[in-house]
Every structure is written in C-alpha cells, then in structure tokens.
Amino acid sequence: MPSSDTLKTGETPDYSPDQFHDQSPDQRMDTKAFKRSLNNSDNYHRKGFGHEAEVSNLMQSEYQSSLIQEIRDNQYRLRRGDVTIRLAEAFGFCWGVERAVAMAYETRQHFPTERIWITNEIIHNPSVNQRLREMQVEFIPVQGNQKDFSGVERGDVVILPAFGASVQEMQLLNDKNCTIVDTTCPWVSKVWNTVEKHKKVSFTSIIHGKYNHEETIATSSFAGTYLIVLNLEQAQYVCDYILNGGDRNEFMAKFSNACSAGFDPDRDLEHVGIANQTTMLKGETEQIGKLFEHTLMKKYGPDRLNQHFQSFNTICDATQERQDAMFKLVEDRRSVAGTLLIAIDGTEYFSSSQIHCSNGYWQLQH
C-alpha cells in the first residue's frame, strides 16, 4: 500500500483502483460506518456556509453571459451577417456542478485566512480550476501517479470535488483532523449507496464507467467485489462469459485494471448489481443493465432472477440531455452546407466525448 500520506491517483492511464482493494472483502473497512461517522463530525461539511448571495453574484458575473441569454431568448439562434449560430438547448453547467463550484467559492469566503486544499479538479473545466487557484486554493500535488498529501497539515481545510473522493482519501484527511468540505454531487453519492447495497448482500458491482476516472475510483472504493465495464461491447463480452464460460486468463488480462483484488470471473459473476459513472450516457447504462438482466434470467430462469440480479436507478440525466440536445441541433445536418460543430470542454476526460452521432456524419468520441 502507499505510505500514509500518498495515495495513487486516477490521472494516468495505467492507474488501477485495485490498489485500494488489496485486502480480502472480510478485511476491508466498513465504509458505510465510516461515512456515517464522518457525516456526524463537526469537521465535515456537506452544505454551504451561508454566503449564497455573495457567491451567486460572483457565479453570475463569471459564468453567465448576456450573449448566451440573447441567443436563448431568440429560440437558441443568433444571426450575424452570413453566419447563423445555434445553441444547444441543454447548455452550461448542470445543477450538481453549479452546486460544487458555489460551495468551493463559499469555502474561501468562510475561511478567508486558512490554508485550503482540493483533492482534484473541482470539475473538468480549466477556467473554473484556474479561478480557484487565483483564490489561493491549492491542489493536492501528483508525483508520478501518486497524490501526495504530506503537505496537508492538521486543521487545514480540504475540498472534495464534484465527482467525489475515495473513502481512503476521506479517511486520511479525517485522521489528519482536517476540515472537509464535501461538494460531491448527490447523484454520485446515490451511486455509492447502491454499491454499498450490493456489498451488503455479497453481489458483484458491475460499474459502467472509465476505470481511471476519479468518480469511478471513488465509487469502486465503496464497493466490495466489482468489475468496471467501459461500454456495451465490454458488457457483452462479460455476459457471453457468464453464459458460455471462456478463457479466464484472457478475461483477467482484459479487465486487469478494472476489477477488485482477487476477482474471479468463474465465481464472482453469479450475483451482480448495476452501477454507473454519472457522466456516462444514460441510454448506454440502461442497455447494459438490461443486457445483464436478460443474461442472468437466461442462465438462472425468471423465478430466480432476483437472487442473481439487482438494479437501482442511479442514472443522472445531464449527459443524456446534452446528447439529445446535440442531436436536435444537427438533425438537419444533411441539408446544411458548411456547418461547423463546436464542443466546449476541458482537456481532461472529455465529457463531450460521450456526445456523438451514430449515423457517421459527425463524432466527438476520443
């Protein structure tokens, strides 16, 4: 395991959340009990600090635009000379992101002189993160693929970003007696509760997500046995293995960075539950859930399905709404010559990479 002040991060492609799960399920910490204890701590804050008015004005001045509002008021169109600009109807920050950024701003106002850290980017938006740096919010440094918490001192204030932090990071900060400001999106917390339910009944959590994304790292840290699938293709591979068996070595090589320690596909795919990274497409998560449901039903029969399959609604609509808005935006693409599609996104993880057209006319997948 890493030293007490270093934890590996998901910022690099070779990261595996398995490093936090090198103990057997019986040896792992009771994450639910720890989170309950943390919630009751005076050093833990899940809401703002009463500076909503000041922060609201700041947010509006920095992230609202009179031009964007003009386009919205004009049925999401603006014409200048020969150029027509169309704006997707689902545009801008979702509610969870707005909440996280506002809480981070409030934290600096509430603790004007304290040293404030954040465990990762608050959201994947360079300008927002730069603004926090200008507020003297320090980002936990990363050396290689390890986060170095050694600079965090007892009593410092630490912000957890919108997509959460691993339970191991929370425990480390709690042990340092830090003031923790948790901006985790409630939809992400809902996923954590779901994998806790899977763990309680010894079900394997099938997590639809990217194994090296910070949100999925956090979610897997609350899970017991888990397997992370990136897309429908990988889900189909797993379901084929459930029904027909296969090459165990090939399976483990394929998911070497995306499963819990000691995972055994011949043992751990008999009882499964579905969870997801909230920035994945709603439609694809639903397809994956249905695929596993039908697979387990086919293998064990309809009367025994509930003994082998669990599914709770943890899907956030925000990503899907943005894809739907993009489809609507370009539905007349064939008849419009010289159309340029511009997606505004950060350079890390690319949430817009989930927004793509399946008809081959345009894509934003990375």
215, 250, 321, 331: the active-site residue:
215
Is 321 part of the annotated catalytic residue set?
A: no
| Tokens read off for 15 | 């990261």
The pair phi, psi for residue 29, each rounded to 5°, is: -65, 155
d(C-alpha 259, C-alpha 315), whole Å: 21
Rounded to 5 degrees, φ, ψ at 159 are: -95, 135
Alpha-helix runs per DSSP H in 267-352: 282-300, 318-329
Q: Where do runs of H (alpha helix) occur along 65-205?
A: 66-73, 95-110, 126-134, 167-175, 186-200
* Main-chain phi, psi angles of 217, to 5 degrees: -60, -45
* Residues in contact with 119: Cβ distance below 8 Å, sequence separation at least 6, in sequence order: 140, 147, 158, 159, 160, 161, 165, 169
| Other Cβ atoms within 10 Å of 100 Cβ, number | 25
Q: Distance (Å, rounded) from C-alpha 317 to C-alpha 185? A: 13
The token pair at 361 is: 């006319």
What angle separates helix 318-329 from helix 282-300, to the nearest 10 degrees? 120
Q: How many CB atoms lie within 10 A of CB 331?
A: 9
- DSSP H helices in 40-184: 52-63, 66-73, 95-110, 126-134, 167-175
Contact yes or no for 213/349 (Cβ under 8 A): yes
DSSP 141: P
| Residues assigned a catalytic role | 215
